[in-house]
A = this chain, B = another copy of it.
Amino acid sequence: MLKIGDKEFISRLFLGTGKFGSSEKMEEAILASGSELVTVALKRVDLETETDDLLAHLKHPRINLLPNTSGARNAKEAVFAAQLARDAMETNWLKLEIHPDPKYLLPDPIETLKATEELAKLGFIVLPYIHADPVLCKRLEDVGTAAVMPLGAPIGTNKGLRTVDFLEIIIEQSRVPVIVDAGIGAPSHAAYAMELGADAVLVNTAIAVAKNPAQMALAFKMAVESGRMAYEAGLGMVSSSANASSPLTGFLNM
């Protein structure tokens, strides 16, 4: 079973809550996905109203909230947001997102390392969103990260695992769970990440914008389970020469 910090997860599919057509559609999709960890942008939560609509739709016994710092441009902003989130959502879990770039929303390695170190000291369970940079992953481990969340492709592009050469190295070297985040646009991408040995994937756009989000969420659930199962069952190697499944010796020559 996947263990992050002190929690164990049956599901290896984490979900984002943005871009859904309605809170009802979101809730339906999350339940269909079987996800036990969903990320919520602090900004979207109405911190002063007790009956926040978004959060109300996320209250389920098996669902853990993972506040994120989307919108933070540096470590200082992220640490501040994290503390607000801890109070508002009553959890010390945090998806750390620091992206100074408003166009591609790519993460800042320097500020992310700094904030991770600080937040880990403050008792947070930190899951940082990062570039698929194997050296950065090791440094995050050194300062107490609970997991690493390397991107598969620029966020929102649905391009899949364009960073596979680096994800393989990260998975090989990591002592903390590796969660592939961003770019996963289809169940096949999620299955591929799991086949490589990733510990989990986080999906948002591909489910939220589907014509039928709940059905797509279920498709992702199955793909993640399938990929994990294949990883454990031992996939064959890619070869360049053919290797017939059926015997060739000419039975018609006789």
Contacts and interface: CB of A to CB of B under 8 A. Distances in A.
Interface string A198-214: 00000011101111110
Interface string A148-187: 0000011111110011111001000100000000000111
Contacts of A2: none
Interface residues of A, number: 102
Contact of A188 (B156, B158, B189, B242): B189
B236 A206 contact: yes
Contacts of A221: 226
26 contacts: A18-B246, A70-B247, A71-B250, A71-B251, A73-B250, A77-B252, A97-B246, A101-B135, A101-B173, A105-B242, A105-B244, A106-B135, A109-B110, A109-B135, A131-B131, A155-B243, A155-B245, A157-B239, A157-B243, A204-B245, A210-B230, A215-B229, A215-B232, A219-B230, A223-B227, A226-B226
B106 A169 contact: yes
Contacts of A215: 229, 232-233
A60 interface: no
Nearest to A164: B162
B205 A243 contact: yes
A191 interface: yes
B219 A233 contact: yes
